[in-house]
Amino acid sequence: MNTARVLMLLLSLMVSRAVYAQYSEDEGGIELESGYLRYLGIGGGATYQVMNDPAVSPIIYSRVGALPMITNLKINNTIYSELSMRASRINLTHNTDKLMKVKTRTQRALADYRFMLRIPSEEMRNWDIRAGGIFSAMFMHKNSPHLYDASKVYEYAVSLGLSGRIIREITLWGKTSYFTWDVSLPLIANVSRPYFLNREEIEDPENKIIGEFLSNSKTGSIGTFSRLDSRVAILYRLDNGNAVQFAYEWDYGRIKTFEKSYFAEHIVSVLFMFNY
């Protein structure tokens, strides 16, 4: 069974489950008996990625690529929780001159879990403000075959930090919809990058790749791992209780161990949100 058939089957199951729920009072979403709204979001978008890593090269690599995404939301009047995942596989490029274009193949996977509580505010009655924390895990593999004996770099970052969210109800095309802004940053993280930069050691029988990778892990604060993630989105709710989310996200990060590695991406995405 190919990927397209699996996705269609999954979407059909989610839509069929939604008919058993009841509409909430505002006729915009489907509320469960527990009082929560739950959405499974499936979609993707375009990402523009920029990377600067001395372990690969002092030059800057960049490119536009595709980005599949999946998310799960759970919301009520007090609690907001979100698990989001995305992954990319892109050949970042750099034009050294008019005749030569070098490439670095990257695979990057990221998972974020946000949990926030509503903050009562009499001064901002028209805004829903929530604050809490974020747990994030990221893994990235970089391969530059044009660099002799220096092609592969692995890195990961697991972090715990702060997260905030502002929500405002709006009317869009006659429907009750929401404008949202999320921002998060880490406070403490565990990261790892190779000790021997610009060296390929897989051929060495004495080299234990996984052991060497984990033994170089380091725990620290913002100086060790810095990441600023900001997302602006519009959630347009449909008559059947499902929704469509249009979003722009800017994600910037830096890892510092033996060298500093920078990575940033701009994401424009569309997610189909299935209420279940």
**214 contacts: CB under 8 Å, gap ≥ 6:** 192
Which residues, in sequence order, are CB contacts of 9 under 8 Å at separation 6+? none
DSSP 75-125: E-SSEEEEEEEEEEEEEEEEESSSS-EEEEEEEEEEEEEEEEEE---STTT
Give residues with Cβ within 8 angstroms of 204, minimum separation 6. none
Amino acid at 240: N
The SS3 call for residue 253 is: strand
Q: Residue 28: left (phi > 0), alpha (psi -120 to 50), or beta?
A: alpha
pLDDT of residue 15: 39
- Alpha carbons within 13 angstroms on the beta-carbon side of residue 228 total 4
Q: Which two tokens stand for residue 216?
A: 């170089």
CA dihedral 165, 179, 125, 27 (to 10 degrees): -120
Return d(Cα 247, Cα 269) in angstroms, integer.
Answer: 5
Cα–Cα distance for residue pair 218/209, rounded to 1 Å: 17
pLDDT score at 214: 65
Contacts of 188 (CB under 8 A, 6+ apart): 159, 160, 161, 219, 220, 221
Domain tally for the chain?
A: 1
User: Model-level pTM?
Assistant: 0.79
Q: What is the CA radius of gyration of the chain?
A: 21
The pairing of beta strand 30-31 with beta strand 218-220: unpaired
d(CA 261, CA 225): 10
User: Domain holding 214: CATH number?
Assistant: 2.40.128.100
Residuewise pLDDT in 10s, the chain (276 residues): 444 444 444 444 443 333 333 334 444 455 555 567 889 999 999 999 999 887 777 788 899 999 999 999 998 888 999 999 999 998 888 765 555 667 888 899 999 999 999 988 766 567 889 999 999 999 998 887 766 555 677 888 999 999 999 999 888 888 878 999 999 999 999 998 866 544 555 555 555 656 666 667 788 888 889 999 999 999 998 888 789 999 999 999 998 877 788 999 999 999 999 988
CB 8 within 8 A of CB 21: no
Residue 174 CB neighbours (<10 A): 6
pLDDT at 213: 61
Calculate the alpha carbon distances from 135 to 41, 131, 139, 161 in Å.
Answer: 19, 14, 14, 7
Full residue range of the structural domain in which residue 17 is found: 3-275
